[in-house]
């Protein structure tokens, strides 16, 4: 059987690029070399290149997403998107691949564009049963002078200030007093390539969880749930990737009733947003009410050795090589089915 040619797309235009590269390297190590020829395609603001085993760069033809390499032109059968942030999660890359008819492993362009915007996502999920949303306000840079007034009128402190479009909690701050708000706003607005809008969201006191969801043979499957425990502060970018003051437990210590409720909620979110591939949904379990509060959805979750999804896949007893291969085959089969209609 001829091996599929996989474009493992990574890089990006934001500060998440380093994590994207790490995720791609991890996935590449896991993919079955007997089934797939994997080409690491790095997308940067000034160039798209294939980086070979000797670290030499070969330009990608953006007109048709092909690669001239080793005296031949490589046409990719599928793209495995492992690019966090822009342009991998905001729908731009997905729209490009859709126009070319190349299947890919993530959500489609419309869903990616919607979920990249935290405020739009919350609006789309507003009436899901047993899912609660923290009160929030969205402001643009031109209205930043009204931030304190809006927070005073509509929210209670503490609150989180974060770019509306962005990932890995980059640019996010926790505000405990009004005099901390200007610095938090400046940090969020200055975050690279995140759209120029800010979401200010009321703090929810509770346990934090993260759970992966994916499609298997037409069925939505929920992976074992991870509880995130931060010794000090909150789960920002530095804590996620640079701090040792965090640990996580998979599977999380939840009652059977709580697990069942979480599974129903995340399946409803996955279906409401028309997700594809594997996504990660984060939420709080509020201390004094037991209510589940939505935090965010990540349509291209991290895939490093210490990332939540690989831990959850292993906890489910699934081989990672088979899991990543299944994501590829599901994407290819879906494209084939669409073309046959």
In sequence order, what DSSP letters do the residues of 120-171 get, joined into one string?
HHHHHTTT-TTEEE--EEEEEGGGGGGHHHHHHHH--SSEEEEESB-STTTT
Percentage of the chain beyond pLDDT 90 is: 65
Residues 6+ apart with CB under 8 A from 48: 41, 42, 59, 60, 62
Q: In what order do the strands lie in the sheet with 66-69?
A: 72-75, 66-69, 57-61, 48-51, 36-43, 4-11, 78-81
- What are the structural domains, with CATH classification, of the chain? 4-105 (3.40.50.20), 114-132+204-324 (3.30.470.20), 136-202 (3.30.1490.20)
DSSP 155-214: --SSEEEEESB-STTTT-EEESSGGGHHHHHHHHHTSTTS-SEEEEEE---EEEEEEEEE
DSSP 278-307: -EEEEEEEETTT--EEEEEEESS---STTS
**What is the pLDDT confidence band of residue 212, given thresholds at 50, 70 and 90?**
very high
Q: Measured between alpha carbons, how far is 269 from 52 in angstroms, rounded to an integer?
A: 39
Average pLDDT, the chain: 89
Return the bridge partners of 163, or none: 198
What pLDDT, on a 0 to 100 scale, did the predictor assign at position 307?
Answer: 93
Residue 68: strand, helix, or coil: strand
**260-300: pLDDT as tens digits:** 999 999 999 999 999 999 999 999 999 999 999 999 999 99
**What is the pLDDT confidence band of residue 44, given thresholds at 50, 70 and 90?**
very high
Residue 64, pLDDT > 80, answer yes
Q: Measured between alpha carbons, how far is 31 from 105 in angstroms, rounded to an integer?
A: 14
CB neighbours (10 Å) of residue 219? 8
Residue 81: strand, helix, or coil: strand
What pLDDT, on a 0 to 100 scale, did the predictor assign at position 151?
Answer: 80
What pLDDT, on a 0 to 100 scale, did the predictor assign at position 166?
Answer: 65
For residues 110-135, average pLDDT: 94
Residues 6+ apart with CB under 8 A from 221: 213, 214, 215
């Amino acid at each position: 059987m001829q091996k599929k040619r996989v474009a493992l797309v990574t890089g990006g235009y934001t500060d998440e690029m380093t994590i994207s590269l790490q995720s791609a390297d991890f996935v590449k190590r896991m993919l079955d070399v007997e089934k797939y020829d994997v080409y690491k395609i790095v997308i940067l603001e000034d160039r798209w290149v294939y980086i070979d085993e000797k670290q030499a760069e070969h330009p990608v033809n953006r007109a048709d997403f092909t690669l001239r390499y080793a005296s031949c032109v490589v046409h990719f059968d599928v793209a495995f998107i492992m690019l966090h942030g822009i342009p991998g999660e905001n729908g731009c890359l997905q729209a490009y691949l859709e126009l070319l008819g190349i299947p890919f492993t993530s959500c489609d362009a419309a869903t990616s564009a919607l979920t990249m915007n935290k405020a739009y996502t919350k609006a789309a999920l507003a009436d899901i049963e047993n899912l609660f949303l923290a009160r929030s306000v969205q402001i643009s840079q031109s209205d930043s002078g009204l931030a304190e007034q809006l927070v005073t009128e509509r929210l209670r402190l503490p609150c989180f200030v974060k770019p509306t479009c962005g990932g890995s909690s980059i640019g996010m701050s926790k505000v405990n007093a009004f005099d901390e708000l200007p610095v938090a706003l400046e940090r969020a607005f200055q975050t690279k390539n995140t759209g120029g809008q800010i979401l200010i969201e009321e703090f929810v006191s509770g346990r934090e969880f993260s759970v992966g969801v994916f499609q298997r043979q037409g069925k939505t499957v929920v992976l074992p749930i991870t509880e995130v425990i931060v010794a000090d502060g909150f789960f920002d970018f530095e804590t996620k990737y640079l701090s040792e003051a965090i640990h996580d437990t998979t599977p999380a210590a939840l009652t059977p009733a709580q697990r069942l409720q979480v599974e129903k909620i995340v399946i409803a979110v996955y279906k409401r947003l028309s997700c594809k591939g594997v996504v990660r949904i984060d939420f709080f379990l509020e201390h004094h009410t037991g209510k589940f509060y939505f935090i965010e959805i990540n349509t291209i979750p991290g895939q490093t050795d210490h990332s939540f999804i690989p831990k959850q896949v292993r906890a489910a007893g699934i081989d990672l090589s088979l899991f990543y291969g299944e994501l590829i085959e599901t994407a290819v089969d879906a494209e084939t089915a669409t073309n046959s209609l």
